Structure 1
Amino acid sequence: MPKAYAFTEHGGPEVEAFLDLPEPSPGPGELLVAVRAAGVNPVDWKLRAGKRRPGQGPLTGPEVLGSEVAGVVARVGPGVEGFAVGDPVFGNPVTGGYAQYTLVPASIAAHKPDALSYVDAAALPVAAATAYDGVRQLGLPAGSTLLITGAGGGVGVAATQIAVHFGLRVIGTASAGKKEFVESLGATHVPRGPRLAERIREAAPDGRVDAVFDLVGGDGLAEVAELLADRTKLITAAAKETVAALGGAPVARARTSAVLDEVALLAVAGVLRPHVTATYPLDRADEALRAVEDGHTLGKIVIEVAS
């Protein structure tokens, strides 16, 4: 049977396990995808720890980890149009990506361009698509100053590149060790630490920022919110439960094939570099997830399931 890396109950890393699971069968509107690569994201370990997606029921059995994949269509479910067996695709799976086979709804899948590798394509559906949705949501005119907290992580790297492409001035917070990397993306780096808001004002060209794209949450969210004259220009992908109290909003995810097509085009054009900094084989999926869960990764980590 196909191999997968899953969690069997909510908890810490000890509830994770390599399992042999039946090949899933595509239902209406679904694609069965033979996975070539799977992106690793913080949401993966958060789901294992007990966070559930909106509308998601309780855990009833093993749940395969992984929220983004790239691979080849192995079977097509009823009612699917625009995809055929053998098509290279990427998207958001509903049965987990750390597996040899998974199901991907056709509505949140896209054709992988030939010029895009499976590894790079697997880094796009969560991080890059979230970044694209967030920058679009803010709707800033060129020349505006955007603060991105957590600019050295997967979403932050993509958001910085997309914002710079749209003509925005970007200030990115990240650890001191990521200074050179963040600046290579076209942002002004501000290290995390005490007096953060004050140091951001000093780094801003006119002493202010026009919008905040938060990817860190925590106590610092309220501090950076004070930088804004218009709190509707505060969005977060990290603190959805608390941002409303500050006058902001969560990132409004589109979750469509059209957005995936857009970020793929940006990647092929060289505007958006996925910055995959490490890959792991499927039998080391535990190590890949630990690297992300430790919170010190630079760019993206991807699991290579098949060559």
Structure 2
Amino acid sequence: MPKAYVFTQYGGPETEAFADVGRPRPGAGEVLVAVRAAGVNPVDWKLREGLRRPGDSGDRAFPAVFGNEVSGVVAEVGDGVTAIAVGDEVFGNTVAGGYAEYALLPAAVTAHKPAGLSFTDAATLPVAAATAYDGIRQLDLPAGATLLVTGAGGGVGAAAVQIARSLGVRVAGVASEGKKDFVESLGAVHVPSGPDLARRVRAAAPDGIDAVYDLVGGEVLTEAAGLLADRTRLITAGAPPETVTELGGARVARARTTAVLDAVAHLVLTGVLDPHVTRTYPLDRAGEALRAVEDGHTRGKIVIEVAR
């Protein structure tokens, strides 16, 4: 039977295990993909801990397969799917997990993988790059504006910095000292994370901050909000809606469409966006891949390579 990496109940790493799962069958509007690569994201372990995303309802069925973004080859299509065929190379968001040999994808959030895009890089785009792209479009900053990105060394942050810089936006990127060289290589001014953040941001951007793209939440978000004269230029993918609303900002408005996936793939192919896959793991080391992200010290993206 197909193998998958799952969590058996809400909790910590002790709830994780490998499981033999039945090969899924695509429903109407879905495609079944033989997974070649799966992106690893902070939301994966947060869901294991019980995170409820907007729109989630009811209790999760266990065992639950980890993973929210994959690339692979279409093995089967459901009713009503006409733009995608068996044998197509695709990438997209998953219906119910992607750290597996097979995954279901909604056709509406699945894109054809261009020939020049590797399966590994493609697997990083549906969550991290697409979230970055949606947020930068939402802020709609003019060239010459200054953007503060918190969590600039992670997958979403690195993509947000690169996309903003390609539009002529100046970027100050908050990250640990260990990620200084990486953040600067992306074209941002590095701002060390830690207490008294606002003072260091003002020193790095003496002309002020025009917008904030937060990927951390907590005190970092609160301090960053205090740097803005116009709180409508504050967005977050790192804090709950009620928290950022109280500060006068908003959550990143995710489009979740094939068109966005096509757009971020184009950015990679044209050299605007480098997914910066810094480590890959085979499926049988999925737990190690997730620990690397959960520990919070990775730079760029980590990918599980399921098949070659």
Q: What is the deviation of 1:257?
A: 0.4
Separation in 1, partners of 2:128, 2:141: 20
Deviating runs (4+, > 2 A) in structure 1?
52-57
Matched letter for residue 104 of structure 1: L
Find out whether 1:120 has 2:105 as its counterpart.
no
Match of 1:219 in 2: 219
Separation in 1, partners of 2:291, 2:193: 23
1:12-161 to structure 2, matched below 5 A, reads 12-53=12-53, 54-161=55-162
Indicate the SS of the match to 2:212: strand
1:255-266 to structure 2, matched below 5 A, reads 255-266=256-267
Find out whether 1:286 has 2:299 as its counterpart.
no
Separation in 2, partners of 1:166, 1:97: 32
Return 112-121 or 236-245, whichever deviates more. Answer: 236-245
Match of 2:182 in 1: 181
Q: Which runs of 5+ in 2 are unaligned?
A: none
Q: What is the deviation of 1:71?
A: 0.2
Match of 2:201 in 1: 200
Tell me the alpha carbon deviations over residues 194-247 of structure 1, each in whole angstroms, 9 at most, x when there is no partner: 3211111111151x0000000011112111111101000000000123100000
Separation in 2, partners of 1:60, 1:269: 41
Tell me the alpha carbon deviations over residues 161-180 of structure 1, each in whole angstroms, 9 at most, x when there is no partner: 00001110000000011111
Indicate the SS of the match to 2:57: coil
Provide the alpha-carbon RMSD of the alignment: 0.8
Separation in 2, partners of 1:52, 1:192: 27
Separation in 2, partners of 1:264, 1:205: 35
Q: What is the deviation of 1:61?
A: 2.2
Matched letter for residue 150 of structure 1: G
Separation in 1, partners of 2:61, 2:43: 19
Q: What is the deviation of 1:57?
A: 2.2
Tell me the alpha carbon deviations over residues 66-120 of structure 1, each in whole angstroms, 9 at most, x when there is no partner: 0000000000100002100000000001120000001000000000010000000
TM-score in terms of structure 1 length: 0.98
Separation in 2, partners of 1:75, 1:22: 15
Separation in 2, partners of 1:155, 1:49: 21
1:294-305 to structure 2, matched below 5 A, reads 294-305=295-306
Separation in 2, partners of 1:172, 1:251: 18
Match of 1:169 in 2: 170
Separation in 2, partners of 1:285, 1:203: 38
Matched letter for residue 212 of structure 2: V
* Number of residue pairs matched by the alignment: 306
Matched letter for residue 173 of structure 1: V
Match of 1:270 in 2: 271
Match of 1:252 in 2: 253
Indicate the SS of the match to 1:219: helix
Matched letter for residue 18 of structure 1: F
Separation in 1, partners of 2:272, 2:123: 17
Separation in 1, partners of 2:57, 2:95: 11
Separation in 2, partners of 1:238, 1:194: 18
Separation in 1, partners of 2:194, 2:288: 29
Indicate the SS of the match to 2:6: strand
Match of 1:8 in 2: 8
What is the percent sequence identity of the aligned residues?
A: 71
Separation in 2, partners of 1:26, 1:4: 17
